[in-house]
Structure 1
Amino acid sequence: MNINYSASIEAHQLHQSLVRLARADMARDYLCIRSKNQHGLSNIKVSQLHMGFILYGQQQLNLQTKQINFSAGDLYVIKPDTVIDAVNLPDPITGEYLTILVPMCDEVIQAAQMIWAKPVVDRTEAILKFSIDDFATSLAEWQAALFNHDVVKARLCITAILVQLCQQHCSDVLIVPPPKLTKIIHDWVIENPQHYWQSSEFEMRLGLSSATLRRKLSHEDTTLRETITHARLTFALELLYSKKLPMKTIAAKSGYQSVAIFRDRFVERYGIDPAVLAAE
């Protein structure tokens, strides 16, 4: 068999297996973004390292000074503390935009750091672009492990991808920014967005006075209210993409009793009516 033809078959099989994974109804450590409408999201704040791969359609990620375009078959890495605007465009043939987004948990990054065990000397861009084929073996093993409900092996596969990135002179993907108060609060809220969070709860958990909490958040250019709202809307965005639920249910699960208030906050944050995503 022709080597190029064989490689083409393997690439097609990997693509199809990832599509099946994206559409699978199971517990998972990744987010499936599906859309039949072209749409854009503004002011997306990426708080941790993410890896994504485009399966159908195209995506435009806009930073302050540049635009990066992705097509089906591309794999990208977004580093922490990156703020982007995104435009998702469905494939003209299938009529669908489909992407898998994988947040890198601390345990995976720490494991990669231990394996790499070298100084981090690279300084690369905030968003890195590759081909899915560059990581075909690890991605094939990753999706197989997830279908087999083997979370440990799946995380080892993601660790292998991080180490491979280091071998490609992108070792700065292993840099973990110092923990910010904003992220700590964000993570608490996103675990229970329906809870009626009050300042006193965070003050008690953090051992801080009200004034100190406000001052520290001010140094991070935010407020407690903005941080809580950001966490709830991040949770809502994931529901809109991955669960076909009524708008009232999504609003309630995200901590909003009023659909109107939820819609206003979502539009203010992302620049798009959540109904556009809920109607997919």
Structure 2
Amino acid sequence: MPDQWWRLYQDPNLNTAVEQALTHHVAIGIVCRHCHNGHAALLGKGCRHEYQKPIDFIKTSETSKDRQMTSRTISTRMGIGSTAKVFQSQALLTSGLSLDETALILIRRGSKQVGYNGHEYHLNAGDALLVSADTRLDVTNLPATPAEGYEADWLSFPNHIIEGSDARALAISSLSHGFIDAFYHAVAAIKDHAGISDKVAEKRLEEVMLWLEERGIALRLNRVERLTQKVRRMIASEIAKEWTAEEVAHSLAMSESTLRRKLSAENAAFQQLLADVRMCHALTLLQVTDRAISQIAYDVGYESPSKFSTRFRLRFGFNPGQVRTQLIASQQAAIN
């Protein structure tokens, strides 16, 4: 991983034992004083958060299996933003992936291949991808090794889109320390509901947007939503609910026939949107949480895990369990 991604902020309260461990290149477990997440760190190469006293000493770097043993979830501040950490052990091509909120994704391990609008992007650890809401991408997350997997952090900007009609997905490289510091300060703010107010959290996300502006990239409020976006957002708000076209149409103050006609004009259909929102959210839960597949099936509106798995496989071309398992030769051959 590029060195500019990793700088250990040494808290003045770190005790002598920690300093000795660092001197002898011993990996230590330490805790971020902002978000209270535990991380493994080596001399000069650690999480970019600020750390306090050690919680444990270990002798080896963490593997993807070790990381998956920790509790993972999506952290959200309504109307402000969301964040999560993505782990994926297997290289899988995800076609037509749609994001319902603009997101900035920072790659930490492995690499990412993105197909968008006839263009192909390859991003390495240390690069970032900014994707506007309502953008469909073909994405392959490539693990660094089967043991280490693919790892990334993302931060969403609800109600914002990338300025410029043609700019829907942008690759960003050579990130400065200040840019990355701002990103992780925003991540910490989204997570720490008890210690950081909504107002401060908003300002930290605004700082990230200012760093994007330094790179010539502006985010603006999305004042005109397509009907497809409105329907997707409504479904996502209660994703396990038994939504009907009639109910959605009533909520949008139109008849069911008008809803279907307007969706058709945007090359969409209600049942297609309902299934896609559920499947895309299920994929996200597989990548960023430790929930059992049966629980994820229930969370996205399926009482039968087998029916969920069938629908998931039809949508993405692979089984839910493959997102969390080691590389398979057939999948790797398909990517090559």
> Shorter-chain TM-score: what band?
0.7 to 0.9
Cα distance between partner residues in 2 of 1:228 and 1:122: 26
Q: CA deviation at 1:44?
A: 0.6
Could you tell me which runs of 5 or more consecutive residues in structure 1 were left unpaired when the two chains were aligned: 1-7, 114-119
Q: Please give the per-residue CA displacement for 1:8-37, whole angstroms capped at 9, x wherever unaligned.
A: 588433873359999675661213210122
Return the match for 2:105 from 43, 52, 59: 52
Which residue of structure 1 aligns with residue 171 of structure 2?
A: 128
Correspondence 1:169-208 to 2 at 5 A? 169-171=216-218, 173-174=219-220, 176=222, 178-208=224-254
With normalisation by structure 1, the TM-score equals 0.80
Which residue of structure 2 aligns with residue 165 of structure 1?
A: 212
Which residue of structure 1 aligns with residue 261 of structure 2?
A: 215
Q: Is the 8 A contact 1:43 1:269 kept in 2?
A: no
Cα distance between partner residues in 1 of 2:142 and 2:207: 30
For structure 1, which segment, 258-267 or 194-203, has the greater mean C-alpha deviation from structure 2 after superposition? 258-267
Which residue of structure 2 aligns with residue 104 of structure 1?
A: 157
Q: Please give the per-residue CA displacement for 1:228-252, whole angstroms capped at 9, x wherever unaligned.
A: 1111112211221122233222111
Cα distance between partner residues in 1 of 2:301 and 2:165: 41
1:276 aligns with 2:319: no
- The 3 A distance-change label for structure 1 pair 38 and 268 is same
Q: Please give the per-residue CA displacement for 1:134-176, whole angstroms capped at 9, x wherever unaligned.
A: 50341243244356442542332221121232233223x3263
With normalisation by structure 2, the TM-score equals 0.68
Cα root mean square deviation, aligned:
3.2
Which residue of structure 2 aligns with residue 226 of structure 1?
A: 272
1:17 aligns with 2:40: no
Q: Return the letter of the residue paired with 2:225.
A: P
Could you tell me which runs of 5 or more consecutive residues in structure 2 were left unpaired when the two chains were aligned: 10-44, 52-66, 76-81, 327-336
Cα distance between partner residues in 1 of 2:239 and 2:119: 34
Q: Could you list the runs of 4 or more consecutive aligned residues of structure 1 that deviate by over 6 angstroms after TM superposition?
A: 19-24, 120-123
1:138 aligns with 2:191: no
Percent identical residues: 20
Q: CA deviation at 1:216?
A: 0.7
Q: CA deviation at 1:179?
A: 0.8
Larger helix percent: 1
For structure 1, which segment, 121-130 or 188-197, has the greater mean C-alpha deviation from structure 2 after superposition? 121-130
SS at match of 2:46: helix
Q: Return the letter of the residue paired with 2:98.
A: K
SS at match of 1:163: helix
Q: Return the letter of the residue paired with 1:153.
A: V
Cα distance between partner residues in 1 of 2:5 and 2:244: 53
Which residue of structure 1 aligns with residue 130 of structure 2?
A: 77
Cα distance between partner residues in 1 of 2:278 and 2:71: 25
Cα distance between partner residues in 1 of 2:92 and 2:83: 21
Q: Is the 8 A contact 1:41 1:272 kept in 2?
A: no
Cα distance between partner residues in 1 of 2:49 and 2:89: 15
SS at match of 2:284: helix
Cα distance between partner residues in 2 of 1:248 and 1:54: 28
- The 3 A distance-change label for structure 1 pair 9 and 221 is closer
Q: CA deviation at 1:56?
A: 0.9
Cα distance between partner residues in 1 of 2:83 and 2:262: 31
Aligned residues: 263
Q: CA deviation at 1:94?
A: 5.3
1:155 aligns with 2:218: no
